[in-house]
């Protein structure tokens, strides 16, 4: 594991534009650009080149989050105890202003410039642990298999409308065989995820604690672990709720604009959707949340506003159980 020295007396910034095969690297004050392979061999060559230009200087590295393409780079820099920041591409894009043209070299320069101008504000990034990366790969594969299975089932429904006798139809037979195979693969990948979770005590403990909250199923519990880096990425549940787009913000300006509070459009849509389904399930099966939901609706709250309150309650319950280290217990049972 890397050990960061949180000394923000940076003398240089390095911007890295990450693509599938290459890294375009720009040293901001040194005004130097070079391209390297997106591999460990390329990372080592990059470090040697940067050290030859600014050896002994406190440097801040910066690059955009590009999904799988930046995973190996993140782990390499962390192992080298390098102060690096993996930033949201939208944050960089909005900071650039009006820009004509685009190239990998220009992008690496803009990233280096962004890092230099905000060098006192940027916090060091920490890569996702290896086991969580493996878990994320399996979850991504499961999502694709589920989507394909759903698509095939819909195709089958459409075809059945035009067929009188589906028993001997070759198209229907192939579709049903494909669906059956995908269902087998989905079960295999789910077993693989469960085995991986069981292989690490903290991972298994946080998974079980999350599942103890009513409305939290297998998929949501795993996604919570992935998005929070096993509950180490966010300080509290409020930060995570803001990340998911569950926190309403004021909308007012001067004396003319006094709108109602609104949820920001920039959010993690996947987590928001999963939490919505979880809230609907919780309202049906948790007596306390069901009563609370109907009470807020009767008071005049819009149903979606009341649902959002339930979503936040579920998030707070998950974080509370993990922090406390004990499963969630319903108030009625506790009183009894």
Q: What does the pLDDT look like over 14-28, one tens digit per residue? A: 999 999 999 999 999
Give pLDDT, residue 189.
Answer: 97
Burial of 88 per CB tally in 10 Å (0-12, 13-18, 19+): exposed
Burial 93-110 (b: 16+ CB within 10 A, else e): eeeeeeeeeeebebbbbb
Question: Pairing state of beta strands 22-27 and 32-37?
Answer: antiparallel
Task: Supply angle C-alpha 270, 274, 276, rounded to 5.
Answer: 115
Instruction: Give the pLDDT of residue 258.
Output: 63
Calpha distance 171→163 (Å, rounded): 11
CA angle (150, 151, 156) in 5-degree steps: 95
Reported confidence tier of residue 252, pLDDT bands at 50, 70, 90? low
Q: Which of 263, 225, 222, 259 is nearest to 243 (CA)?
A: 263
Query: Tell me, which fold does domain 12-117 have in CATH?
Result: Nucleotidyltransferase; domain 5 (3.30.420)
Helix or strand or coil: residue 12? Answer: strand
**Higher pLDDT pick, 329 / 249:** 329
CA atoms within 13 A on the CB side of 114: 28
CA pair distance 115, 282, nearest whole angstrom: 43
pLDDT tens-digit series, residues 118-174? 999 898 999 999 999 999 999 999 999 999 999 999 999 999 988 877 788 899 999
What is d(CA 277, CA 271) in angstroms, rounded to the nearest whole number?
10
pLDDT at 3 over 60: no
- 8 Å CB contact between 62 and 85: yes
pLDDT at 5: 46
What whole-number distance in Å separates Cα of residue 170 and Cα of residue 166? 9
Burial class of residue 114 in the structure, from the number of CB atoms within 10 Å of its CB (0-12 exposed, 13-18 middle, 19+ buried): buried
Higher-scoring residue by pLDDT: 334, 234: 234
Position 93 scores a pLDDT of: 85
Residue carrying structure tokens 């202003």: 97
Nearest-CA neighbor of 86 among 190, 229, 210, 235?
229
Which tens digits make up the pLDDT trace of 38-95? 999 999 999 999 999 987 779 999 999 988 899 999 999 999 999 999 998 888 888 8
DSSP summary character for residue 124? P
Residue 101 predicted with pLDDT over 80: no
CB neighbours of 173 closer than 8 A, spacing ≥ 6?
none
């Amino acid at each position: 594991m890397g050990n960061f020295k949180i000394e923000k007396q940076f003398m240089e910034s390095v911007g890295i534009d990450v693509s599938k095969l290459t890294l375009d690297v720009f040293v901001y004050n040194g005004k130097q650009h070079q391209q390297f392979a997106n591999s460990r061999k390329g990372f080592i060559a990059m470090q040697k080149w940067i050290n030859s230009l600014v050896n002994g200087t406190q440097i801040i590295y910066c690059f955009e989050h590009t999904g799988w393409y930046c995973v190996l780079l993140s782990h390499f820099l962390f192992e080298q105890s390098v102060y690096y920041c993996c930033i949201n591409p939208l944050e960089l894009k909005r900071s650039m202003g009006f820009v004509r043209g685009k190239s990998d070299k220009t992008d690496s320069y803009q990233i280096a410039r962004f890092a230099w101008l905000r060098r006192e504000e940027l916090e060091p990034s920490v890569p996702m642990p290896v086991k969580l990366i493996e878990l994320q790969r399996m979850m991504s594969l499961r999502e694709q298999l589920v989507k394909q299975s759903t698509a095939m089932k819909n195709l089958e429904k459409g075809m059945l409308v035009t067929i009188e006798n589906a028993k001997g139809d070759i198209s229907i037979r192939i579709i049903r065989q494909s669906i059956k195979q995908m269902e087998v693969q989905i079960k295999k990948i789910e077993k693989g995820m469960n085995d991986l979770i069981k292989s690490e005590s903290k991972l298994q403990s946080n998974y079980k604690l999350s599942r103890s909250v009513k409305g939290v199923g297998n998929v949501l519990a795993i996604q919570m672990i992935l998005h929070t880096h096993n509950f180490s990425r966010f300080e509290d549940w409020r930060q995570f709720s803001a990340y998911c787009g569950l926190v309403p913000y004021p909308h007012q300006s001067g004396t003319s604009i006094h709108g109602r509070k609104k949820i920001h459009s920039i959010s993690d849509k996947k987590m928001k959707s999963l939490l919505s389904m979880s809230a609907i399930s919780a309202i049906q099966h948790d007596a306390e949340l069901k009563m609370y939901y109907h009470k807020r609706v009767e008071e005049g709250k819009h149903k979606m506003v009341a649902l959002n309150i339930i979503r936040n309650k579920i998030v707070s319950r998950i974080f509370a159980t993990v922090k406390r280290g004990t499963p969630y217990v319903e108030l009625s049972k506790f009183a009894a």
